[in-house]
Structure formats: C-alpha cells, structure tokens
Amino acid sequence: MIIKTHKDIPSNEITDPLVFKQRRQIIKAMMGSLAAGVAGVSASSALAEPVSVWSNIPKANTTGESLIATPSDIVKNHTNYYEFTFNKTDATQLAQSLPTDPWSVEISGEVENPAVYHLEDILSQQSLQEYIYRFRCVEAWSMVVPWIGFPLANLLKMAKPLSSAQFVQFTAIYDPKTMPNQRDNAMLEWPYVEGLRIDEAMHHLTILAAGMYGERMPKQNGAPLRLVVPWKYGFKSIKAIVKIELVKRPPVTTWNKYAPSDYGFYSNVNPEVPHPRWSQNSERQLGGSFFTPRRKTELFNGYGSQVASLYSDMDLRHFF
Ligand SMILES: Nc1nc2c(c(=O)[nH]1)N[C@H]1C(S)=C(S)[C@@H](COP(=O)(O)O)O[C@H]1N2
Ligand SMILES: [Mo]
C-alpha cells in the first residue's frame, strides 16, 4: 500500500474540514429533498432548506462603510465561549454537542405580550439581512464579520414594552450536560447573562444574528441566536440566547459581577479607558500577518456618529 504523506499531497487535494462538512451538509440536504419528493412528504425544514436562503441575503444599509470581512475560517476557529472552554480553539469541536434545534426564546418581564417563540417562527417573520460590522474584544483583538440577522428592536416591539421597561436582560442557555464549565461551576456564574439599556437595545445597529458568512450560525459562534452590539466590547454580544427580559433595573451581568472594576456595565469600546491590566488604544486584527500594523482603536469602535448621542450626558470614564 502506498501511503501519501502530507508533503506528497498537492494542497488543492486537501479538503478543509469545514468545507468537507459543508459539502456533506449540502449532500444531506439534497438527499433529504429527494427522499421527500419520492415519499410525497415535505422534508424537515433544516434539511430541505435551499442553501440560497442563507447565502443570498441582502446587505443592510446601516453604516454606509465598506469593510473587508476577516476570513471565515479564522472567525470560526478563534472563539470565546467560556461555557465550553477558556481557550480560543476548542469550542469549534466542543460546541457541536450543544442541541440547538428545536430552540425557543422567551420574551417576558415589563411587556404587554410576553411569549415563548419557536426560533423558526421568529426567523420566518423577519427579513434577514447581512450586517458587516467591526467586532472588538476587550482583550484587544478585532475582526470584521458579515453577520446575518435582524434588528433586536423588531422583536422587542412585538412584545410591546411597557414604559416601565428601562433595561433588557439576556440569558444564555444552561446546559451542563454539554457545557463542561457549567458542569464544573468554573470561574463565572452560569448561565451567562448580559444586559443593555432600553435605548441601546432599540438602536438600529443592535441586531440578533442567526447566521454569518452566508450560512446558519456555527455553534461555536453562538448558534442558533446571538446578540451583536458592534460599538461595545465583544463580551456584551451574548451567544445562545434563550431568554430576553425587559426589566426596570440594571441587570446583574456575568462579567460585571465577576470583576466590576475590569468590566463595566456599558463596556463601550473606548481607547481612553484602559483595562486595569492593558491599554485599549490599539488592537490586533485577526487574519493579518506578522507585519500587519495594529489598528488604532476608535471610540465606540468607529460607530460614534450613530451612537454617541446615546451617551451625550454621561461621563464615559465613570460609566465605562
Ligand atoms: N454565552 C456566551 N456568550 C459569549 C461569550 C461566552 O463565553 N458565552 N463570550 C463573549 C466574548 S468574550 C466575545 S469576544 C464574543 C466572541 O464571539 P465569537 O466567539 O463568535 O468571536 O462572544 C461573547 N459572547
Ligand atoms: Mo471578548
């Protein structure tokens, strides 16, 4: 038997494992619809869904800037998902065991119409758009991601917030069976909780994302539904949301509770307010080479012309 070593295989013969998986999914989808055609019943939605539903998404016109997305294999393989791991690589594998279909999202609290929705019912009522945003982690790295989602405001309006609703609290899934750090009660308090002020939550740049790079959200990036708030540090953009509550008081959020002097409730990107252990005035851009210069971090991550008015009467050093 001739064994080809890695050296002998031309690079175009090596199939990226992600591409391989995608191909298998497409084949599975084709077989699913074939089988359905023969049997005369409709295949399950996930399998029969035409690939184009996720790949021909119109671009949202929210920022008017043209950004070049970070290569998708980098965004999919460099993640922060503390329920699974404290490193950046292992969630790619570990998160695959999280069951995300079916999924429901509860909307409750200070609203006229509290409800529990099947995720698919939420998605079918929204016109999904692509939002290409800069994304800045508090650890001083950044990327540009083409998210697929819809304004959070759309969903909140369906629930009809009462005037007493001043903040929005988001809760992520609690699933210790598949999430090792929940099982071990490691480091943070679980489930992961985040929050926004109601005007931040209603802002048109704030989205719920169900996909990226022309496909459904990979599990390690927060499937099936995550928040994206592009002018705040990445930890505000909570993954795997199961509950959205409108509340009267500022929510107690996971990172703020863990280390209040390091991670403020607002956590707007701000080069003038250093983390106690590192500067925030520049960032390493994922996908660059050794020679790519660090990017100068911008106030509100560059979205100031659209969001600065939310904070006009606030001292951002105090409310960091
Ligand atoms: N549920 C949950 N959401 C989370 C996190 C997490 O650990 N758990 N990490 C946050 C942090 S620190 C960042 S930087 C972003 C990372 O998103 P990405 O892994 O898709 O790049 O997700 C945020 N949302
Ligand atoms: Mo982060």
Q: Does the beta carbon of 173 lie inside 6 Å of ligand 1?
A: no
Best probe residue, ligand 1, of 144, 189, 235, 284 (max atoms within 8 Å of C-beta): 235
- pLDDT above 90 (res 1): no
Asked, for residue 76, whether it belongs to a domain, the answer is yes
Taking the CB of residue 5, how many other CB atoms lie within 10 A of it?
6
Does ligand 1 come within 6 angstroms of the Cβ of 230? no
Closest ligand 1 atom number to CA of residue 233: 14
Whether residue 238 has its Cβ less than 6 Å from ligand 1: yes
* Of 182, 307, 186, 154, nearest in space to 240 by CA: 182
Mutate to test the pocket of ligand 1, among 72, 73, 79, 80 (most ligand atoms within 8 A of CB): 80
Task: Read off the pLDDT of residues 274-298 as tens digits, 9 standing for 90 and up.
Answer: 999 999 999 999 999 999 999 999 9
Write out pLDDT tens, residues 220-238.
999 999 999 999 999 999 9
| Distance from residue 259's CA to the centre of ligand 1 (Å) | 17
Ligand 1 and 216: CB distance under 6 A: no
Please count the CA atoms within 13 angstroms of the CA of 56 that sit on its side-chain side. 5
- Domain total of the chain: 1
State the CATH number of the domain containing residue 238: 3.90.420.10
Query: Which residue range(s) make up the domain with 36?
Result: 3-308
CB 47 within 8 A of CB 33: yes
Q: What is the CA radius of gyration of the chain?
A: 21
3-state secondary structure of 244: strand
Residue 254 lies in a domain: yes
Q: Is the pLDDT of residue 198 over 90?
A: yes
Q: Do residues 72 and 145 touch, judged by C-beta distance below 8 A?
A: no
Q: Is the CB of 172 under 6 A from ligand 1?
A: yes
Residue closest by Cα to atom 1 of ligand 1: 239
Q: Which pLDDT does position 146 carry in this prediction?
A: 98
* Residue at 315 is within a domain: no
- Cβ-Cβ contacts under 8 Å for 68 (sequence gap 6 or more): 144
- Please state, rounded to an integer, the average pLDDT across all residues of the chain: 88
| Alpha-carbon gap, residue 187 to 103, rounded angstroms | 26
State residue 52's pLDDT score. Answer: 64
Q: List pLDDT tens digits, range 13-31.
A: 334 433 333 434 443 444 4
* Residue 62's pLDDT band (cuts 50, 70, 90): confident
For ion ligand 2, residues whose CB falls within 5 Å: 80, 137, 234-235
pLDDT in tens, 135-166: 999 999 999 999 999 999 999 999 999 999 99
Q: Does residue 251 lie within any of the structural domains?
A: yes
Does 319 map to a domain? no
Q: Is residue 318 part of a domain?
A: no
pLDDT band at 49 (very low <50, low <70, confident <90, very high): low
pLDDT at position 8 over 70:
no
pLDDT exceeding 90 applies to what percent of the chain?
Answer: 81
Q: Is residue 13 part of a domain?
A: yes
Q: Would residue 313 count as lying in a domain?
A: no
pLDDT of residue 48: 54
Mean predicted confidence (pLDDT) in 173-191: 98
Report which protein residue has its CA nearest ligand 1's atom 8. Answer: 81
Residue 6, pLDDT score: 40
What is the model's pLDDT at position 50? Answer: 55
Question: Does the C-beta of 80 come closer than 6 Å to ligand 1?
Answer: yes
